[in-house]
Amino acid sequence: MTTYLSRFGGVLVSVVVGAMLSAVAPAAEPIRLHPDNPHYFLWRGKPTILMTSGEHYGAVLNSAFDYAKYLAVLESHGFNQTRTFSGAYCEPVGAFKITNNTLAPAAGRLVCPWARSNTPGYANGGNKFDLTQWDATYFSRLKGFVGEAGKRGIVVELVLFCPFYEDSMWALSPMNAANNVNGVGTMPRTEVYTLKHPELLAVQDDMVRKIVTELKDFDSLYYEICNEPYFGGVTLDWQAHIARVISETEKALGVKHLIAQNIANKSQKVVDPDPLVSILNFHYAKPPVAVEENWGLSRVIGDDETGFSGSEPKAYRLEAWDFIIAGGGSFSNLDYSFSVGHEDGQGLIDAPGGGGPILRKQLEILKEFMAGFDFIRMEPDNSVIKGSLPDKTTARALVQKGRAYAIYINGGSRVDLQVELAQGRYRARWIDTKTGQTAARETFDHAGGIRKLASPAYDSDIALRITAAGDGR
């Protein structure tokens, strides 16, 4: 057992961070980057692309949410990812114009790493928090959630921190001095995630060490440092510090989980990436410029949140297909049909985004489409597509030359596609992205060079699978 001392409120406090009681037996190696192609994952012995349409990140911290029912819905679609926040951040009712927001627990329903004190006065019901004490109920719920996800083949992206976009959100945080009995957290919200305040930083470090230690035996897990750190004053040196805390704690424990960093909305070319970070996450990454700009970094690139394109499935379906065929390794749709009382994902959506059973089925089709390829051997290569396309139509290709071509057409209603192929015999199938049905197929011999493939009529988008005729997949 290992202990460390942290200076907290002027008092040295000894905190156990070593061998903890675990609810699970030692597990298989945690999900990691694939050694043959680090743009994708290796999990439980299989090449993996992560895909989901998940709730608004409150499955653990909102004690009223039935996470078992929710995870069962993800499993029913074959989804293998969910994203959840640690509880250091939550939202007031009505934030971002979201009705039935899982990140906005009802009064008294927030659970987080820190235990309640005997002093009343938390802003959203119940007693204030004691930042020197852990909440056993919370950690039982957290491990129950990660364990249940793992049993269902679902990887948890655990987001440790989130910036406080508005004062109303900072006013609900246990790290705010108004909500704890320790007198810690008197700074403005824009300085919470900096290195300026050693006492608060010690609280954050302790929380990270505790969570990482409690979850050390789970393979269905990776950590994201901070959601959208490009808001609310979050600094790069603070993010690098948290990544080191994760890494050093796990090194002492003899385990290693992947670390993700949320880079930007839409896109940004990453220069001098943190060597401890293996996953580069972007939000609203359409068109998928972020993949092309950062492909050379040999890390997984994720589209980690969608929204603000209405409630109809189309926009999010197009975003998903474009991103994955561009070479993305994970896609996490934000699905507002999940809420307390509607953990089955059948709730009405009143939020700045989409979701629901129709979209989930369409994303399931994309996941199945990719499962039909040996995508570890493929890379984005739009150069195989020759000639012109109809106005407002794009084509993307993920390619293993001479063996397999995954092509996605976004826009239009019919296309005469010209594809450069090596010599060989091929099978081609046009896939309806809304039903998963084969819209047309052909087998042909090709002498090499450009092959014209005429699509059937389609509405908005269509996918094309071309494989060498001898490929059993």
Determine phi and psi for 295, rounding to 5 degrees: -60, -40
375-411 pLDDT tens trace: 999 999 999 999 999 999 999 999 999 999 999 999 9
- In whole angstroms, how far apart are CA 126 and each of 93, 100, 123, 185, 424? 17, 21, 8, 19, 70
Residue 12's pLDDT is what? 34
Range 9-31 average pLDDT: 48
Cβ count near 77 (within 10 Å): 18
Q: What is the CA radius of gyration of the chain?
A: 23
DSSP class of residue 447?
-
Q: How confident is the model at residue 180 (pLDDT cuts 50, 70, 90)?
A: very high
319-331 pLDDT tens trace: 999 999 999 999 9
Confirm or reject CATH 3.20.20.80 for domain 25-371, answering yes or no: yes
89-128 pLDDT tens trace: 999 999 999 999 999 999 999 999 999 999 999 999 999 9
Residue 28's pLDDT is what? 83
CB 385 within 8 A of CB 418: yes
The matching CATH number, chosen from 2.60.40, 1.10.760, 3.40.395, 2.40.40, for 377-468 is 2.60.40
Residue 5's pLDDT is what? 33
Q: How confident is the model at residue 13 (pLDDT cuts 50, 70, 90)?
A: very low
Residue 471's pLDDT is what? 58
Q: What is the dihedral of CA 206, 144, 68, 32, to 10 degrees?
A: 70
* pTM: predicted TM-score of the whole model, two decimal places: 0.93
**Domain ranges within the chain, ordered by starting residue:** 25-371, 377-468
Residue 470's pLDDT is what? 75
Q: How confident is the model at residue 23 (pLDDT cuts 50, 70, 90)?
A: very low
